[in-house]
Structure 1
């Protein structure tokens, strides 16, 4: 019922308002009547271009406070074109007005313009100070530009600003965004003085790079240093618990939240919901959610995602319905959280309705949403739709490639063409897609090889399977996980190499799980090898696992062999 209500809502939603990415505003009228804005300059104000030789000499004194206030007001209002026009009429020797423009570009998300204007400042010989660099460093981090970031870092060292507290905090954040944890740690260790922002940047930085353990260790060190955690501290530390699935640590931080008087902060409450859901305690997550007096869309999305993550798929749809009744309109994150529920339930109609809702609301292109759609269509057996969405992704990343490769690997043997006459192997298509991915310069990860090995198993490609398995460590330095051994065992079992499969299990560096022995049991069943089936069943029964399937397989094999008595 809940799924039908969701389908109805997404299918009959109102026409969406225009949603567009915020861009640099067009020139606005000046807040001061006497200031005349040149419309041609306002339309295009190049940063690198020097003033024309025929332009009139600047006649405005740099210490004219009224003009500086006007420049400041234009920047704060987002009228960067007007601000640049006024800037060109002012005396450029004043570092302050340069910093005002750089701050404006950075605060309005114009990060490339921030860096370009900084380089122009350098070319004109203007002295940079400790107010200049934090905004430029922020821009380098947002643009993921290590080269520019290191140039700026070198410059501030020459200027003797490498120990400035605010600049060091900015450098730590930049290096974490770039993924260079060692550089961030070095800056932090060499800081002569640290404040709460320094610690928060480190705790949050480890969370950004996915190292939840170090995030929690750093948080504990911060507490031992005598720092009182604030909202960002708690949110980052809870994020570390979410990454590691550390329920005990999350409970401790929850206690810390209560002692700090932050238990009613909705951002902290949302982080608690996310942490408890990812640690498998949905009851705790629901308890925190129900105590939120004024729920926002982020909190609703967190609990919907929690239901989906813990396999409560119908509840996720019902929660979305309650969110709608609370007058909240789903956003892209809501749909990303709901699509896995569609995948697991095989709810193709609801998935298509969500897709259509996203198109009407102009949420696309959105790399995460598009990847979730590829995954949903693949798991629902709609390869044509999955390929269509995948083809429309502008900048495909590793996750989107993995989703498409997995879609082919999950959908059986054959693909019918448009004329219904010719067939091709899904497995070989997945392998070809992997080759295309490598040609694009994208390196695979462990999930990529799970899909590839599954494809080889389905198609019986033994040699290709061994090649992919061996290339993981040899070519990409990826350690084999239990899921990779499971895929190889499936491949060997499907091709009837039971003794090789048994030897493969014995030589595994990891302890075989029930799934591993279950694969051998299934292969033994398919090849009528009762002796090997009994061996696999013995190991399965020795493990703390649901053994119902094991008993059923053995019973059927004994019945077919006429062995009705033990």
Structure 2
């Protein structure tokens, strides 16, 4: 076919001026072929033919070729379109927009911005779609400075009142968490339709500002703009975030009454909302009534069961999903790993390991981290270490998870070894890593090492210790029997010690039989919790351990005078098969 067209083109080439309408000449067949062409090889053949015949210099035909390359959705074709466009004069705005959009579809936003810069530099015209595409490109590269620059261009070129550019700016600022800028763009809009409102609502919803979502939706209704499906999804997301069941039911009622066709996004949002609010019956009922389900539907319901401590139901639903030939993604597998952790079953741990291996998920860093955490918490620290050593790429979370697992099992020395190895590989420990390593030292009795790590955290990493770090140090000293040193450490803390630290000290005093120090600690506890019975009982038990029964009666009498009541009596539970 291409050869036939080639002969027609060559026969008539001498008759063709470079700017004539295409419909009058045989290369109309070529234009028709370009519209049908799907393969890159065919596009390359047509390109070569146009070069040999000289048609590449005809703007009308060259434009069609550029658009065909840029719109083909084949890897690398947009770059070819860009090269051709650079050699042809008088290409229109639509053609350059197609190239910019092609780079966006190829996930190459930097090149899209460079093309926009070329268009601006050469004085070519742009339109609102050019600006919309380049705004999206800025969002993909997290380029807030470039995005703000494009906003300036929009203002200077007079596109600030265009609906599509306003909507693009709203989405971009929402993506960058510049919600004040997004609100300002919205407030300056002279005409606000449902697209404007939904762009602002979505910005707040995606950044977890649920109260703002409610306020914007209230203003939207006040201005007589009818909420649609997009608005409903954002509202349900806000209800999920706040665990606001009553408001979620109101949105559900509105959806049923006012929206004719409910899409899968609304169904998924309803399932998520009811699951987050603990109403799994409603969530399951909606799941069963869905006309079509996608992977998000299954994952939301599985995670709903798992997060509400119904792991067996979650497992059954996952197997049902497999039977329906729905392939899980990374998010689904993470939910299943969480479910296996709650069930604490060796068979399930082996099953999920084999499933991940068989289905190619083992290369996922997030899944590997989750499996490490599961095995460590289920008692198989050896397996957790094997997974870690197998990982091709490790993140700070990977190192933290392993160190936490080693700490949990009392392997202080291996945890310290991994801590040093992590730093040698260029990872800078954060507050969570230091908390884990201090916990490892505490559970292993590594007092000197714990002191050193605490000192390194403050002096070498300029980190401000949190209450949890102080608590680990107190626990470390108390476990080692250094109660007096622990008391001095608490006294020197830069922040006011909380109740748990003082209670930890009181328990250590009981174990060491130090009644004098216990009295000082008790005074501090009574200042913070004068009516908590547990503190009195702990002191009473200390006196009883030392045989000081008069002091026991004195403590009990003081409890009566202060009106302190033991609210939660102790109990024991034995499960019988």
Question: What does 1:63-462 align with in structure 2 at a 5 Å threshold?
Answer: 75-79=70-74, 88=84, 91-261=89-259, 264-347=262-345, 349-383=347-381, 385-387=383-385, 389-390=387-388, 399-414=397-412, 424-426=413-415, 428-429=416-417, 431-432=419-420, 435=423, 439-440=426-427, 444=430, 447-458=432-443, 459-460=446-447, 461-462=449-450
Deviation at 1:245, TM superposition (A): 4.0
Give me the whole-angstrom Cα distance separating, in 1, the residues matched to 2:232 and 2:250. Answer: 11
**Among residues 451, 463, 481, which one is paired with 1:463 in the alignment?**
451
Deviation at 1:162, TM superposition (A): 3.6
Deviation at 1:452, TM superposition (A): 4.2
Residues 373 and 262 (structure 1), Cα distance of their counterparts in 2 relative to 1, 3 Å cut: farther
Deviation at 1:101, TM superposition (A): 2.3
Deviation at 1:496, TM superposition (A): 3.7
2:313 partner SS:
helix
Give me the whole-angstrom Cα distance separating, in 1, the residues matched to 2:56 and 2:354. Answer: 56
Deviation at 1:83, TM superposition (A): 6.6
Give me the whole-angstrom Cα distance separating, in 2, the residues matched to 1:337 and 1:232. Answer: 26
1:491 partner SS:
helix
Residues 468 and 266 (structure 1), Cα distance of their counterparts in 2 relative to 1, 3 Å cut: farther
Give me the whole-angstrom Cα distance separating, in 2, the residues matched to 1:306 and 1:541. Answer: 41
Give me the whole-angstrom Cα distance separating, in 2, the residues matched to 1:216 and 1:430. Answer: 47
Deviation at 1:301, TM superposition (A): 1.0
Give me the whole-angstrom Cα distance separating, in 2, the residues matched to 1:108 and 1:393. Answer: 29
Q: Which runs of 5+ in 2 are unaligned?
A: 1-29, 554-577
Give me the whole-angstrom Cα distance separating, in 2, the residues matched to 1:518 and 1:166. Answer: 60
Give the aligned partner of residue 418 of structure 1: none
Give the length in aligned residue pairs. 505
Deviation at 1:99, TM superposition (A): 0.9
Deviation at 1:340, TM superposition (A): 1.9
Are the counterparts in 2 of residues 32 and 70 from structure 1 also a CA contact under 8 Å?
no
Residues 59 and 330 (structure 1), Cα distance of their counterparts in 2 relative to 1, 3 Å cut: closer
Deviations 1:327-346 (A, max 9, x none): 43333222110112333444
The TM-score with structure 1 as length reference comes to: 0.71
Residues 510 and 120 (structure 1), Cα distance of their counterparts in 2 relative to 1, 3 Å cut: same
Structure with the larger helix share: 2
Residues 255 and 430 (structure 1), Cα distance of their counterparts in 2 relative to 1, 3 Å cut: farther
Deviation at 1:524, TM superposition (A): 4.1
Give the aligned partner of residue 421 of structure 1: none
Question: More relative contact order in 1 or in 2 (CA 8 Å, sep 6+)?
Answer: 1
Deviation at 1:147, TM superposition (A): 4.4
Give the aligned partner of residue 494 of structure 1: 479
Question: What does 1:537-552 align with in structure 2 at a 5 Å threshold?
Answer: 542=531
Deviation at 1:282, TM superposition (A): 4.1
Give me the whole-angstrom Cα distance separating, in 2, the residues matched to 1:318 and 1:334. Answer: 14
Residues 272 and 526 (structure 1), Cα distance of their counterparts in 2 relative to 1, 3 Å cut: farther
Residues 361 and 151 (structure 1), Cα distance of their counterparts in 2 relative to 1, 3 Å cut: farther
Residues 150 and 315 (structure 1), Cα distance of their counterparts in 2 relative to 1, 3 Å cut: same
2:129 partner SS:
coil
Residues 264 and 157 (structure 1), Cα distance of their counterparts in 2 relative to 1, 3 Å cut: closer
1:131 partner SS:
helix
**Higher deviation after alignment, 96-105 or 291-300:** 291-300
Give me the whole-angstrom Cα distance separating, in 1, the residues matched to 2:487 and 2:376. Answer: 33
Give me the whole-angstrom Cα distance separating, in 2, the residues matched to 1:468 and 1:246. Answer: 44
Are the counterparts in 2 of residues 456 and 465 from structure 1 also a CA contact under 8 Å?
no
Give me the whole-angstrom Cα distance separating, in 2, the residues matched to 1:488 and 1:273. Answer: 44
Give me the whole-angstrom Cα distance separating, in 2, the residues matched to 1:506 and 1:310. Answer: 42
**Higher deviation after alignment, 108-117 or 76-85:** 76-85
Give me the whole-angstrom Cα distance separating, in 1, the residues matched to 2:507 and 2:174. Answer: 47
Deviation at 1:412, TM superposition (A): 1.2
Q: Which runs of 5+ in 1 are unaligned?
A: 1-29, 46-51, 415-423
Residues 352 and 125 (structure 1), Cα distance of their counterparts in 2 relative to 1, 3 Å cut: farther
Residues 284 and 560 (structure 1), Cα distance of their counterparts in 2 relative to 1, 3 Å cut: farther
Give the aligned partner of residue 15 of structure 2: none
Give the aligned partner of residue 3 of structure 1: none
Deviation at 1:253, TM superposition (A): 3.6
Residues 56 and 430 (structure 1), Cα distance of their counterparts in 2 relative to 1, 3 Å cut: same
Give me the whole-angstrom Cα distance separating, in 2, the residues matched to 1:194 and 1:476. Answer: 47
Deviation at 1:302, TM superposition (A): 1.0
2:200 partner SS:
helix
The TM-score with structure 2 as length reference comes to: 0.70
Give the aligned partner of residue 527 of structure 1: 512
RMSD: 4.7
Deviation at 1:95, TM superposition (A): 1.0
Are the counterparts in 2 of residues 489 and 501 from structure 1 also a CA contact under 8 Å?
yes
Deviation at 1:186, TM superposition (A): 3.9
1:127 partner SS:
coil
Residues 187 and 342 (structure 1), Cα distance of their counterparts in 2 relative to 1, 3 Å cut: same
Deviation at 1:443, TM superposition (A): 7.8
Give me the whole-angstrom Cα distance separating, in 2, the residues matched to 1:224 and 1:174. Answer: 26
The structure with the larger Rg is 2
Deviation at 1:477, TM superposition (A): 7.2
Residues 254 and 235 (structure 1), Cα distance of their counterparts in 2 relative to 1, 3 Å cut: same
